[in-house]
Amino acid sequence: MGQRMDAPAARMLRDGSQVVIRPLAEHDWSTLLRFGRTLPQDDMLYLEDDLQSPEIITRLVNASAAENWRQLVAVDWDDQIVGYAAVRRLAGWSNHVGEILLIIGPAWRRRGLGMVLARAASDAALSLGVAKVVVEIMAEQVGGHAIFERLGFAVEARFSAHARDRHGACHDLHVLARHLQ
Ligand SMILES: CC(C)(COP(=O)(O)OP(=O)(O)OC[C@H]1O[C@@H](n2cnc3c(N)ncnc32)[C@H](O)[C@@H]1OP(=O)(O)O)[C@@H](O)C(=O)NCCC(=O)NCCS
Instruction: Compute the Cα dihedral for 71, 120, 127, 146 and give only its sign.
Output: positive
Averaged pLDDT for residues 51-68: 94
Question: Is residue 3 in some structural domain?
Answer: no
Per-residue confidence (pLDDT) for residue 45, from 0 to 100: 76
Question: Is residue 158 in some structural domain?
Answer: yes
Q: From 15, 76, 104, give the residue whose CB has the most ligand 1 atoms within 8 Å, as the site to mutate.
A: 104
> Cβ distance 86 to 22 under 8 Å?
no
Question: Is residue 40 in some structural domain?
Answer: yes
- Phi/psi of residue 114, nearest 5 degrees: -60, -40
Whole-number Å distance between alpha carbons of 62 and 56: 10
Question: Is residue 54 in some structural domain?
Answer: yes
Range of the domain at 77: 9-179
Question: Is residue 2 in some structural domain?
Answer: no
Task: Give the ligand 1 atom nearest the CA of 115.
Answer: 12
User: pLDDT for 78-125, tens place per residue?
Assistant: 999 999 999 999 999 999 999 999 999 999 999 999 999 999 999 999
Question: Is residue 109 in some structural domain?
Answer: yes
Whole-number Å distance between alpha carbons of 14 and 111: 6
User: pLDDT for 122-158, tens place per residue?
Assistant: 999 999 999 999 999 999 999 999 999 999 999 999 9
Does the Cβ of 103 fall within 6 Å of ligand 1? yes
Domain containing 123 — which CATH number? 3.40.630.30
Record the pTM: 0.95
Per-residue confidence (pLDDT) for residue 46, from 0 to 100: 75
Averaged pLDDT for residues 165-171: 86
> Cβ distance 19 to 38 under 8 Å?
no
Distance 143 CA to ligand 1 centre (A): 3
Strand partners, 154: 177
The crossing angle, in degrees rounded to 10, of helices 29-38 and 54-62 is 130
Q: Give the 3-state secondary structure of residue 112.
A: coil
Distance 56 CA to ligand 1 centre (A): 25
Type of residue at 110: R
Cα 47 from chain centre: 9
According to DSSP H, which parts of the chain are helical? 29-38, 41-46, 54-62, 113-128, 142-150
Per-residue confidence (pLDDT) for residue 26, from 0 to 100: 94
Per-residue confidence (pLDDT) for residue 62, from 0 to 100: 96
* Counted domains in the chain: 1
Q: What is the pLDDT of the chain when averaged over all its residues? A: 93
Per-residue confidence (pLDDT) for residue 42, from 0 to 100: 79
Per-residue confidence (pLDDT) for residue 41, from 0 to 100: 83
Q: Residue 6: enclosing H or E segment and its boundaries? A: none
Per-residue confidence (pLDDT) for residue 3, from 0 to 100: 57
